[in-house]
Amino acid sequence: MKIWRTVLIALLATALIAPSMGAAVANQSTSVLPSWAVKSTIYEVNVRQYSTAGDFKSVTNSLPRLKRLGVGILWLMPIQPISKVKRKGTLGSPYSVANYKGVNPEFGTAEDFQALIDEAHRLGMKVIIDWVANHSGWDNPWIANESWYHRDLNGKIISPNNDWTDVAWLDYENPNMRAAMIDAMKYWVTEFDIDGFRADVAGLVPVSFWESANTELQKIKPLFMLAEEQGTTDMLNKAFVANYNWELKDRINALATGLTIPISLLKYVNKLPSKYPTGSIPMNFITNHDENSWNGSEYRRLGAAVPAMAALTFTLPGIPLIYSGQEVGNKRELAFFEKDLIPNLEIENSTTTFYRKLIALKTKNAALWNSAPLAAPELIQANEDIISFYRTVGKNRVLTIINASNKPQKTSIALNKLAGTYYQFSSNKQKKLPSKLTLTLKPWQFEIYSSAGN
C-alpha cells in the first residue's frame, strides 16, 4: 500500500524535529506532535452542511480554496453511516454510528473518501476524522454483542444519559469490545491513510483505552490525536497531543459580555503551561459545530468582539480552529439533525481575507507555532481594559494589543526592550515602535505587531 511510503517520510520528518522537543521526562506526553502540525491551523468540515450536495466530492472540489486560506489540518465530522433506529430528526446525528468501518452513503463512496484524502495530501494538507468511541447507534452490528454495552438491571442496553436516546452506551470493561474499537480505528489509518483522530467526548472513555489505542495507532504512522476534553492531565500524558480549550472559550464569552475583565483571562492563560505536559497543546476556538448549533453563533455570543477574540485565539499559545462557515462570516446557527446549508461558503469576502491573514501570521512567525514546551505569553502592563502581551522564540517576536471593551480606549504602553521595527497586522507594512507606545483604540479594535509579517 502507498501508506508505507507516507509512513517512511513521516518518520524521517519526526526524527529531524525530535531534538527540538527535548528528552522525555515524567511530565511529557507520550504522543509526539507530528512535524507537519507545528505551524498548522485546524479547519472543521461539516460535510452535511458544507454544500448543497453535502458530499465528499464537494469537499474535494473545495480543497484549493482551503489551501489558499492556509489551513493545514482538515477535521471531518463523522463520516460513517448514521443509524436509523431511534434517529433524531430527519437525518439523525452523525455521532450515532451505524458501522465503524463503513462510509456514509449520503456522502459518497469509499473511493470518494479516498480521493478526498489523496487530494488533500497532494495539496500539503492533513486529514483527521471524528471518532465516536463512547457510544454507537442502535442498529450498529455490535448491538448483537450485548455484553459490549452498559445494561440496566434487566439486562437491557441503555443510553449514556436521558438526552442521548439515539445512541447505545459502550462498556469498556469488555476486552473484546476494546479490541474491536482499536481494530476499527486502525482500519482508517491503514486503508485510507488518514492522519489522526478527533475523539468525541473523550473524557467519558477510560484513559487506559486511549493509551492502548494510541500505542497501537502510532506504530502505523505519526498521528495527530485531539481529545474533546479538558482537565485530565493523564489524557495528554498517555494518549493525546491536543485537547479543547473550553475554559478560554468560556472566558472569551464572559469578556465579550462584560462578565469578566481582561486580567482574569490573562491570569488563566499564564497558568496553562503548568496544566500541559511537554509536547501537548490546547486547541483554541470561538466556535465549532456544538457551539454554533447549541449555544449560538460567535456573532450572537460575542457581537462586535468577534474579530478581536478570533485574533486572540491565534496569538495565544495553542492550535487555532476554524469551523465551516466561520471564514466567510456565517451568522446562522445550523440545524444539527436536518439539512441546513452554510450560506455563501464558496464566496470569499473580507472575513475570508481576515482569517487568511491570521493563518499567515501564525505560519510565518515561529513565536506562534505549536511548539513544545508550552510557554505563557509575557504580559505588558496597560490599563485594565487592554489585553497586551508578547511571545518570543529566538529573534521572532509577536506583540498583541486588544481593546477588550465596548468603549474607545487611549493607552500608553511601555515597550522598553520591545521597541523596534515590526510588521503591523492591519496594514502588513513595517512600523517602528518607540519605547513608549501610545494608542487610541476603537471598541474591540486590536493591533498585532510581528517580526515576520502576515
Write down all domains in the chain, each with its CATH number in brackets: 3-376 (3.20.20.80), 379-450 (2.60.40.1180)
Strand boundaries in 171-271, DSSP class E: 196-199, 224-227, 242-244
pLDDT (0 to 100) of residue 260 = 86
Q: How many CB atoms lie within 10 A of CB 32?
A: 20
Largest Cα separation within the chain, whole Å, is 74
Scanning the structure block, which residue is given the C-alpha cell 492522519?
195
CA dihedral sign of residues 359, 52, 120, 371: positive
Residue 85's pLDDT is what? 98
Strand, coil or helix: 281 = strand
Query: Is residue 210 within 8 Å of 198, Cβ to Cβ?
Result: no
pLDDT by 10-residue block (mean), the chain, 454 residues:
38 34 43 92 98 98 98 98 98 98 98 98 98 98 98 98 98 98 98 98 97 97 97 90 96 92 89 89 98 98 98 97 98 97 93 98 96 84 90 96 95 93 95 95 97 90
Residues near 15 by Cβ (< 8 Å), separated by ≥ 6?
none
pLDDT at site 11: 36
- Residue 23: strand, helix, or coil: coil
Instruction: Give residue 27's pLDDT.
Output: 56
Question: What's the whole-model pTM score?
Answer: 0.93
Long-range contacts of 168-175 (CB under 8 A, 24+ apart): 168/135, 168/136, 168/137, 168/138, 168/140, 168/143, 169/134, 169/135, 170/133, 170/134, 170/135, 170/136, 170/142, 171/147, 172/205, 172/206, 172/208, 172/209, 174/147, 174/148
Task: Determine the number of helices (DSSP H) and then strands (DSSP E) in the chain.
Answer: 13, 18
pLDDT reported for residue 28:
57
